[in-house]
């Protein structure tokens, strides 16, 4: 029984694949009814499904396909002309075939109360008889009989006789069956050959395959496997293009992808370690070798990643294929004439994206036909060709795939959209005034927006386009719309190639790092506080001709502000669709390839966070969900950016307002320093070594400068300076080395680790005070 | 590995060896737990639910979470949530000292790290000596499996599957 199950599964997989192709072929056939090659292809599919179906005792399916095959056979022989009406019936029966196959997949049988094939069978019969009266009922039933007899014959043999046969007899039986099959095939092919000289090469290929197959089978398959060998043969000989492929469980590929993800992380880590080592052991011989190994590992990893990504890639044609049928049905329903042009169906996308993109695309295509393309009379009136065109196109653009849906319909008028949105209360009047045309087009993706005057069963039910947008954004994609009234509209969907590994911009908010998907980063700019203006209590930035709302990343994520105010601010301009936001960050770290990891069940669904990644240093960095972040940005009041700055700026004017940390292990030295600066009014804190000083700094954010000795126990001054500079908030903290080390290399080292000044002992109290005042910008 | 952990393992081994002579029947009633201190109380979780115990490492804060969720940390390439049991149980909020540990526990299908003040020992407790949790209305009772006594200590046994239930802190 397992054997049967396996055969059944194979059959289903194949049948679904073939049917997918069938839809497209049939629609094509309608426009080229005389394409013999196409007809043959379609006939073969019907025939194969019939053959395998009868073997698997799927009587209803067999009966249906048999009648279909009948008509196709006649059309193939030129006895019947395929008209749109006939095509309707054929398509109907294909739909029924699909339903039956689905039922078989779910329930293991084609016997069901839900599907009644009789009406279709009658229609099919009527077509076949009505057109071809001479060989009507009698010959047909005869033909049918022949088929069933043949099948029954095989069944009998496989079911009954094997049990009684000796191994030798079984061998002989197998050989007989195979030969019989081969002869039948040969005869059939010969007949075909006469008809179609054009597909000759194809057939030869098949013949070769056919000849080599039985030999292998005969040697290796034990008697119980005969059935399988038989069925395997049936579909194999029908496949027109032989591809070198194997089916692999998707889970295995997912697993492989995860492993590659780990490898990419390790690679990043290796590169980081190499950079550290390079700094420390500059000029050493082994560095060269290490460099070679690191670069070769990093190249191989990247190649491996691409290779594995490719194994998960499917052609987008898989999705596109169903649209000719959709367009055909739609245009007949709506009484419109529409021609669908498909380009770039060989463009490849990750499997997970292919699975998700079908529904949004379907919706947009329906939208284009229903809302975009005008009725034929209307088109003629405005001087356009009667038949409208919808172009579906896919192509690569950098790291992204672009899917374009263009129609030459009536287009959209931004002003109409705006007034409509106003009417429905989706936007305010003020928003409408400020809206650019592109933003106006994006209104159609708002929930509750529909421009269709009358509700059809195709679109315009008020749901849909907003769901399209959500689905596309789930794939990290964006939608762009362009339209000219009277000329047509173009929708562009841009999606990343793969979901697992992306390019990201690393930014810091206070001490915390975040990764922003590069696909959503339009640009980064450095501004000063003066560049920020306030409109209606909200901070905005005028950038070239645009006004960007500004929001501080620390405000969005409620990160405590510990950093002092610097002169410059970094703004990351984020874009999702037509809307843009300027995100103020405290630092731009760089661009990196990151592997997206989930935060797990417990922490999932956090607003503004899409996941996490592990960086080269082993730390976890959160990945920003840009679409959600922009939503959060709207809710966050960013008024505080400017005011907070002014407050902190005002606070400190006199030496009394400053706190200075004195770090020295010698009590005497600390006293000398204190005596030198105390008279000016500074508040002084003391630490006896680097470690202590670091702890004080970490816990007390009020320290404004540090005087640091170099020679100290536990942690020396150089290390202390290095550690301090690792923190963003201490990037600009004045550090003054006060030491008796006087050589030039000491001074150089001091600068290297981040000291602002280097004072050698002995020094005059005035000199120390002046240096400190200068560094604190006190006059 | 810390001395403490070694002690724990050693004790456990001794116990196992010592009990090797006993009948299997008796083993059925014995639950093996790992005890630890959070604040002033001793808690315990079943030893089999623990994946590993590590010294505190760096973690990353995650916005919009409860205050007892410290963030996430990297355990050999996996991103795991880190929960401070001291904050969850409203105990001390002391800095991490040398005894503090992350206990990585498997909760359902998920791994998560929990911060504790220090480990005590591996415990073997007869299941029928475990008392049901006291009948109070304290929030944290939702995560208590039962109370065990050992010598003069009172040990609270935690309900693993409730540790990651959201909104019970």
User: B54 or A44, which is more confident?
Assistant: B54
Range with the lowest mean pLDDT among A563-567, A633-637, B43-47, B152-156? Answer: A563-567
The verdict on B70 touching A (C-beta cutoff 8 Å) is no
**Top-confidence range, A196-205, A562-571, A658-667:** A658-667
Phi, psi of A758 (to 5 degrees): -135, 110
* Residues in chain A closer than 8 A to B69 (CB atoms): 603
C-alpha B154, offset from chain centre: 15
The verdict on A621 touching B (C-beta cutoff 8 Å) is yes
**Rounded mean pLDDT of A243-252?**
79
Q: How far is A501 from chain B (nearest CA, A)?
A: 15
* Residues in chain A closer than 8 A to B77 (CB atoms): 262, 265, 614
* Residue B145 belongs to some domain of the structure: yes
Size of interface A-B (CB pairs under 8 A): 69
Residue A220 has pLDDT above 70, yes or no: no
Q: How high is the pLDDT of residue B35?
A: 92
Q: How far is A520 from chain B (nearest CA, A)?
A: 21
Tally Cβ neighbours within 10 Å of residue A602. 21
Predicted confidence band of residue A165 (pLDDT cuts 50, 70, 90): low
Predicted confidence band of residue A349 (pLDDT cuts 50, 70, 90): confident
Taking CA–CA distances from B95, the nearest residue in chain A reads: A699
Q: How high is the pLDDT of residue A221?
A: 40
**Top-confidence range, A575-579, A589-593, A713-717, B49-53:** B49-53
Residue contact B110–A600, C-beta within 8 A: yes
* Residue B168 belongs to some domain of the structure: no
* Residues in chain A closer than 8 A to B78 (CB atoms): 597
* % of chain A with per-residue pLDDT over 90: 4
Residue contact B60–A512, C-beta within 8 A: yes
Residue contact B81–A512, C-beta within 8 A: no
* % of chain A with per-residue pLDDT over 70: 80
CB A312 within 8 A of CB A498: yes
For residue A515, give the nearest of A599, A589, A601 by alpha carbon: A589
The verdict on B160 touching A (C-beta cutoff 8 Å) is no
Residue A642 has pLDDT above 50, yes or no: no
**Rounded to whole angstroms, what are the CA distances from A602 to A598, A619, A665, B112?**
10, 20, 48, 9
Q: How far is B97 from chain A (nearest CA, A)?
A: 14
Give the position of tokens 């019947």.
A80
- pLDDT tens digits, A729-741: 787 788 888 888 8
Query: Closest partner residue to A602 among B63, B77, B164, by Cβ?
Result: B164
- pLDDT tens digits, B116-159: 888 988 888 888 788 887 766 566 667 788 888 887 888 888 88
User: A662 or A579, which is more confident?
Assistant: A662
What's the domain range around B43? 3-162
The verdict on A286 touching B (C-beta cutoff 8 Å) is no
Q: How high is the pLDDT of residue A563?
A: 67
**Rounded mean pLDDT of A105-132?**
75
* Residues in chain B closer than 8 A to A556 (CB atoms): 63
Residue A522 has pLDDT above 80, yes or no: yes
The verdict on B77 touching A (C-beta cutoff 8 Å) is yes
**CATH number of the domain within which B137 lies:** 2.40.50.180
Residue contact A619–B60, C-beta within 8 A: yes
Q: How far is A667 from chain B (nearest CA, A)?
A: 29
Q: How far is B44 from chain A (nearest CA, A)?
A: 22
**Rounded mean pLDDT of A224-249?**
53
* Residues in chain A closer than 8 A to B108 (CB atoms): 601
Residue A97 has pLDDT above 80, yes or no: yes
Query: Closest partner residue to A262 among B65, B77, B164, by Cβ?
Result: B77
Burial of B102 from C-beta contacts in 10 A (0-12 / 13-18 / 19+)? buried
* Residue B61 belongs to some domain of the structure: yes
- pLDDT tens digits, B14-23: 666 555 444 4
Taking CA–CA distances from B79, the nearest residue in chain A reads: A599
The verdict on A699 touching B (C-beta cutoff 8 Å) is no
The verdict on A334 touching B (C-beta cutoff 8 Å) is no
The verdict on A562 touching B (C-beta cutoff 8 Å) is no
User: pTM to 2 decimals?
Assistant: 0.52
Catalytic residues of A: 47, 69, 367
* Residue B97 belongs to some domain of the structure: yes
Which chain A residues in 499-528 lie under 8 Å from chain B, judged by CB atoms? 512-513
- pLDDT tens digits, A171-180: 676 677 777 7
Phi, psi of A507 (to 5 degrees): -130, 160
Q: How far is B60 from chain A (nearest CA, A)?
A: 6
Q: How high is the pLDDT of residue A622?
A: 93
Q: How high is the pLDDT of residue B140?
A: 61
Residue B106 has pLDDT above 80, yes or no: yes
Residue A524 has pLDDT above 90, yes or no: yes
**Top-confidence range, A80-84, A128-132, A141-145, A478-482:** A478-482
Q: What is the DSSP letter of B162?
A: G
Q: How high is the pLDDT of residue A215?
A: 41
Average pLDDT score, chain A: 76
Q: Which domains does chain A have, with CATH numbers?
A: 2-238 (1.20.120.160), 250-312 (1.10.287), 315-496 (3.30.565.10), 502-648 (2.40.50.180), 652-775 (3.40.50.2300)
* Residue B167 belongs to some domain of the structure: no
* Residue B169 belongs to some domain of the structure: no
Instruction: Convert A302-324 to b/e letters by CB count within 10 Å (16 or more is b).
Output: eebbeebbeebbebbbbbbbbbb
How many domains does chain B contain in total?
Answer: 1
Range with the lowest mean pLDDT among A70-79, A195-204, A291-300, B89-98? Answer: A195-204
CB A364 within 8 A of CB A477: no
- pLDDT tens digits, A419-436: 888 887 778 887 778 777
Q: Which two tokens stand for residue A756?
A: 């602002």
The verdict on A777 touching B (C-beta cutoff 8 Å) is no
Q: How high is the pLDDT of residue B73?
A: 92
- Residue A272 parent element (H or E): helix A250-280
C-alpha A486, offset from chain centre: 33
Q: How high is the pLDDT of residue A475?
A: 79
Predicted confidence band of residue A152 (pLDDT cuts 50, 70, 90): very low
- pLDDT tens digits, A560-603: 777 666 678 899 999 876 788 899 898 898 888 888 888 877 88
**Rounded mean pLDDT of A269-283?**
83
Query: Closest partner residue to A620 among B64, B72, B110, by Cβ?
Result: B72
**Rounded mean pLDDT of A49-71?**
80
Q: How high is the pLDDT of residue B104?
A: 93
């Amino acid at each position: 029984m397992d054997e049967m199950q396996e055969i059944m599964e194979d059959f289903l997989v194949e049948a679904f694949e073939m049917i997918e192709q069938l839809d497209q072929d049939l629609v094509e056939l309608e426009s080229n009814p005389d394409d013999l090659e196409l007809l043959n292809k379609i006939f073969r599919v019907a025939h194969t499904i019939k053959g395998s179906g009868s073997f698997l005792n799927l009587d209803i399916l067999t009966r249906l396909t048999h009648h279909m095959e009948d008509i196709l056979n006649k059309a193939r022989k030129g006895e019947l002309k395929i008209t749109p009406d006939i095509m309707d019936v054929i398509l109907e029966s294909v739909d029924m075939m699909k339903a039956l196959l689905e039922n078989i997949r779910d329930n293991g049988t084609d016997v069901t109360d839900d599907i009644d094939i009789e009406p279709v069978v009658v229609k099919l019969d009527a077509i076949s008889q009505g057109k071809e009266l001479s060989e009507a009922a009698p010959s047909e039933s005869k033909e049918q009989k022949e088929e069933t007899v043949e099948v029954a014959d095989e069944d009998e043999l496989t079911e009954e006789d094997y049990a009684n046969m000796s191994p030798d007899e079984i061998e002989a039986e197998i050989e007989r069956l195979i030969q019989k099959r081969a002869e039948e095939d040969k005869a059939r092919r010969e007949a075909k050959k006469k008809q179609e000289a054009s597909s000759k090469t194809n057939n030869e290929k098949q013949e070769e395959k056919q000849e080599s197959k039985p030999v292998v089978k005969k040697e290796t398959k034990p008697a119980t496997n005969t059935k399988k060998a038989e069925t395997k043969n049936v579909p194999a000989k029908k496949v027109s293009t032989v591809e070198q492929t194997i089916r692999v469980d998707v889970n295995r590929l997912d697993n492989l992808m995860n492993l590659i993800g780990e490898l990419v992380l390790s690679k990043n880590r290796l590169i980081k370690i190499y950079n550290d080592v390079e700094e420390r052991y500059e000029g050493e011989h082994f560095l060269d070798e290490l460099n070679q190994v690191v670069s070769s590992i990093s190249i191989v990893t990247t190649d491996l990643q691409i290779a594995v990504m490719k194994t998960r890639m499917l052609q987008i044609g898989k999705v596109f294929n169903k649209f000719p049928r959709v367009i055909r049905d739609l245009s007949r329903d709506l009484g419109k004439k529409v021609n669908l042009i498909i380009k770039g169906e060989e463009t490849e996308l990750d499997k997970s994206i292919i699975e998700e993109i079908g529904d949004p695309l379907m919706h947009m295509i329906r939208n284009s036909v229903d809302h975009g393309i005008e009725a034929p009379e209307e088109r003629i009136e405005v001087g356009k060709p009667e038949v409208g065109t919808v172009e579906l196109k896919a192509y690569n653009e950098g790291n992204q795939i672009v899917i374009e849906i263009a129609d030459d319909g009536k287009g959209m008028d931004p002003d109409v959209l705006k007034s409509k949105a106003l009417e429905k209360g989706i936007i305010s009047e003020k928003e409408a005034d400020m809206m650019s045309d592109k933003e106006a087009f994006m209104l159609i993706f708002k929930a509750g927006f529909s421009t269709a005057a009358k509700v059809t069963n195709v679109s315009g039910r008020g749901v849909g386009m907003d769901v399209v947008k959500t689905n596309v954004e789930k794939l990290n994609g964006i939608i762009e719309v362009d339209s000219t009234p009277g000329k047509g509209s173009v929708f562009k969907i841009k999606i990343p190639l793969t979901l697992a590994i992306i390019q990201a911009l690393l930014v810091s908010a206070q001490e915390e790092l975040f990764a922003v998907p590069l696909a959503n980063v339009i640009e980064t700019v450095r501004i000063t506080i003066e560049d920020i203006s306030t409109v209606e209590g909200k901070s905005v930035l005028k950038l070239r001709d645009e006004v960007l709302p500004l929001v501080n990343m620390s405000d969005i994520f409620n990160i405590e502000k510990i950093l002092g105010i610097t002169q410059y601010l970094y703004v990351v301009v984020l874009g999702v669709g037509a809307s843009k936001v300027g995100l103020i960050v405290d630092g731009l770290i760089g661009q990196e390839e990151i592997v997206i990891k989930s935060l797990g069940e417990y922490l999932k669904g956090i607003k503004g966070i899409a996941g996490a990644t592990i960086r080269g240093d082993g730390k976890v960095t959160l990945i920003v969900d840009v679409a959600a972040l922009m939503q959060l940005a709207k809710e966050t009041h960013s008024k505080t950016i400017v005011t907070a700055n002014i407050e902190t700026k005002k606070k400190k004017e006199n030496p009394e307002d400053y706190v200075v940390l004195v770090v020295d292990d010698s009590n005497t030295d600390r006293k000398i320093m204190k005596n030198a600066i105390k008279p000016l009014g500074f508040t002084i804190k003391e630490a006896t070594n680097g470690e202590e000083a670091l702890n004080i700094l970490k816990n007390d954010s009020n320290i404004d400068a540090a005087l640091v000795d170099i020679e100290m126990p536990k942690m020396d001054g150089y290390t202390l300076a290095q550690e301090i500079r690792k923190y963003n908030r201490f990037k600009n903290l004045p550090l003054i080395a006060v030491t008796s080390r006087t050589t030039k290399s000491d001074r150089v080292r001091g600068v290297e680790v981040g000291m602002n000044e280097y004072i050698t002992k002995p020094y005059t109290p005035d000199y120390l005070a002046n240096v400190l005042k200068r560094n604190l910008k006190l006059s | 590995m810390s001395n403490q952990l070694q002690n724990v393992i050693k004790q456990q081994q001794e116990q196992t060896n010592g009990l090797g002579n006993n009948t299997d029947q008796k083993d059925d009633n014995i639950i093996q737990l790992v005890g630890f201190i959070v604040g002033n109380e001793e808690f315990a979780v079943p030893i089999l639910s623990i994946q590993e115990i590590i010294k505190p490492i760096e973690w990353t804060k995650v916005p919009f979470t409860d205050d007892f969720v410290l963030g996430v940390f990297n355990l050999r390439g996996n991103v795991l949530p880190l929960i401070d049991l001291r904050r969850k149980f409203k105990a001390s909020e002391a800095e991490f000292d040398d005894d503090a540990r992350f206990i990585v526990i498997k909760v359902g299908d998920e791994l998560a790290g929990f911060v504790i003040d220090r480990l005590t020992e591996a415990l073997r407790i007869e299941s029928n000596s475990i008392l049901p949790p006291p009948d109070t209305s304290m929030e944290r009772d939702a995560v208590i499996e039962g109370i065990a006594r050992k010598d003069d200590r009172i040990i609270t046994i935690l309900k693993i599957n409730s540790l990651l239930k959201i909104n019970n802190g």
